[in-house]
A and B are shown apart, each in its own frame.
Chain A
Amino acid sequence: MSFWLTVFRQVGRNIRQTWASQLMTLLTVSLSVLIFAFFYLIYANMLTFGEKLGDDLSLIVYLEDEPGPELQLQLTKKITTFDEVEKIRFISRAEAYQRFARQLGQNQDVLNDMPKDFLPPSIEVVPLKNLRSLNQVKLFSAYLSRLPGTLKVQYGQDWVERFYYFTKLLSIIVLLSGTLLILTTIFMVAYTIRLTILGRQAELELLKLVGATNNYIRTPFLLEGLLQGIIGSSLGIVSLYALYEWIKLRFSGPGFLNLFEFSFFSPVVSITIICVSILLCTLGSYSTMQKFLRI
């Protein structure tokens, strides 16, 4: 009989003998992967959304008076002293008025009675892409607000800050659920394998005495951990995909979710999550064998 045939028979026997605990472990692994992958999916999508927001990020510096060409040069010099920027654009009162009128569209009649210079002049500063962490933007904003003649600097502070803290919170949840995934997979698999080993102590001792090699005894347990990892994590990812499809279908049409371009993991990320889970399960199985399998 070939080595692998014998090993597969042993695995089948182990699973039959401890099917209840095997099932519990499988569900735990699936659930852990599902929880982790769920939060990671939201986090990854939020990061993509954040990047898109960052692409549109610009700081508007409102000025007291319209700067002349010389002052414009001086201001540009001052701004670039802090850091290189992607773009600096001076907007006059008239330009601001036209832009506002365009934004109002059909309702621009409301501006009829307003003077054409009621809006302050401003400078639109688009920072470089490498200057897009919240702290750097804050520092830049503070610097711009100290420029002579500045009234106010605006970049949607509240929104950006809330979004930043939300992604920060999500990253903590991802970290926690990742730890949960690691602990549950390693410990649950280790516990199940331990149960199998203890339940088959007499057989293992006999196998050793009739000349079974270490590989003959160990491989079925390693394979068991591997199977738990493959089936459990695949089940978790497939469940998440089903949930994702359901949500997409249920909430399609105009609504909040359509603000984001929500997408599922790429095949590479899905396979990576599965592979890491398999590795963790095998690790759990291996650590138990080292502890309890005296061969």
Chain B
Amino acid sequence: MKTKSNNGLETMIELIKVSKEYPPDVVALKDLSLSIASGEMFFVIGMSGAGKTTLLKLLCSMEIPSSGLIEISGKPISQLKGHHLARLRQKIGVAYQDFKLLNDRTTAENVAISMEVSYKKPQIIKKRVRDLLEQLGLADKHDTITGELSRGEQQRVTLARAIANSPTMILVDEPTGNLDAVTTEMVMNLLNKCNKAGATVVIATHDDSIYRHTSHRVMELRKGRFHMMTGGIL
């Protein structure tokens, strides 16, 4: 059942005392509780090893929590399997820190993959891919093999793939790590646009230029634990 967050909006993400440990004794996250409303933009900050990436992996069910409960749109994600999990994942767009691009495929093919699994029509896929690549300044790389792109370009392709299927939740890990100021702005504009269109956006970053003047909530993690929360005007 969907719950309401403190600000009266429907809760998209709910974490209750979530911990993640890796053998033998690495604690990546410890007793994290958190609610993110539907349509909210949320920043997760912290130093390397603070648990940002682990949190995103847990949210997209790439990893299973050692303990605690994670609900996405009111559904306990760790209990979802097969068809139901696939359907949920189609609604979550993830831009991974390590990109996870298919380096022997073209930029367009990489972006299209997230729409193909939802059986979108080829014309729709083609149009959406062109639009996205244009918005991210990659129009001329449409048919370039992604293995031949620079790190910054690959990062943008990852982002394009994450938002191509118009997901209701977008998880972005270090979206501006390899980008210059102009491209960073381009990326943030696109994420803001998605957020305004109703998507919940969770950004894990240590680039303070993208959250310094934000009005959105910013949560800081330290050594896998909640440290502080700032902002919060939606």
A-side residues, CB < 8 A to B, are 1-3, 6, 202-203, 205-214, 216
Contacts and interface: CB of A to CB of B under 8 A. Distances in A.
Interface string B77-110: 0000011001111111010000010100000000
12 contacts: A1-B120, A3-B119, A6-B119, A207-B113, A210-B117, A210-B161, A211-B91, A211-B92, A212-B86, A213-B86, A214-B86, A216-B117
B119 A212 contact: no
B124 to A, nearest CB: 9
B165 to A, nearest CB: 8
A214 B86 CA distance: 8
Given A2-B119, A203-B102, A207-B117, 8 more contacts: A1-B122, A1-B125, A202-B102, A210-B94, A211-B89, A212-B86, A213-B87, A214-B82
Contacts of B102: 202-203, 206
B102 to A, nearest CB: 5
Contacts of B120: 1
B229 interface: no
B114 interface: yes
Chain B, interface size category, equals 20 to 34
The 7 A-B residue pairs with the shortest CB-CB distance, nearest first, are A211-B90, A211-B89, A212-B117, A213-B86, A210-B114, A211-B86, A1-B119
A6 B87 contact: no
* Interface-centre pick from A2, A202, A211 (highest chain B CB count, 10 A): A211
* Interface-centre pick from B62, B86, B92 (highest chain A CB count, 10 A): B86
A211 B118 contact: yes
Contact of B100 (A1, A209, A216): A209
A6 B116 CA distance: 7
B146 to A, nearest CB: 12
Contacts of A1: 116, 119-122, 125
